[in-house]
Chain A
Amino acid sequence: AQSVTQLDSQVPVFEEAPVELRCNYSSSVSVYLFWYVQYPNQGLQLLLKYLSGSTLVESINGFEAEFNKSQTSFHLRKPSVHISDTAEYFCAVSTDQTGANNLFFGTGTRLTVIP
């Protein structure tokens, strides 16, 4: 079975400061990794994903995440946050073990950017 752990339920950070949102996963098979973002009163949006290849993946708005197989982690980072980054962030995994390729989500991290 797969599971995802997001250790930080809330992360407050000042505007223009760096941030790291932690994600660890557990799986006995190869995984695909995702970060989704949920802005207030909006649906989940895919931020970035790791399927294969380069372990460092980037989003269009400056976020990046690195797949670390030995540490079973997929931490999300941004060197300088903006007020508009305030949202809930969910880490998720998927595998080919089930035909559904359904997502297993962590409990989320609420990022609050302080002016």
Chain B
Amino acid sequence: DTGVSQNPRHKITKRGQNVTFRCDPISEHNRLYWYRQTLGQGPEFLTYFQNEAQLEKSRLLSDRFSAERPKGSFSTLEIQRTEQGDSAMYLCASSLGTATYEQYFGPGTRLTVT
């Protein structure tokens, strides 16, 4: 068990550019979550996958955001036409989807939009 990994760890981009983040969950974990954390705040839920199906999206997830989880393994989160307000830490978590409800978090990708 190598834990949840995320790449890149840091990303600096100019406003208007597109960015893509990757999350590799713990193997055998069928649930995968994306959260966003801004300075001084707790993480906020963005979206959730059960295997390859994206089953729930937060209202925080604007049309410029898209997430995929092909084959139910790794996931990508893409932000198109980035804005300065997108600057945040993007966290990925995975779980077995059992009654334990325990989510394991990755180290996050810090996005800075200049």
Contact = CB atoms under 8 A, between A and B. Distances in A.
A94 B35 CA distance: 14
A100 B45 contact: yes
Interface in B42-89: 42-45, 48, 50, 55-56
Interface of B: 4, 33, 35, 40-45, 48, 50, 55-56, 91, 93, 95, 99-108
Contacts of A101: 95, 101
Interface in A92-115: 92, 94, 98-108
What are the nearest 6 A-B pairs in CB distance? Answer: A105-B42, A100-B48, A44-B105, A102-B45, A43-B107, A100-B56
A105 B101 contact: no
Contacts of A4: 42
Contacts of B55: 99-100
Contact of B42 (A46, A51, A98, A108): A108
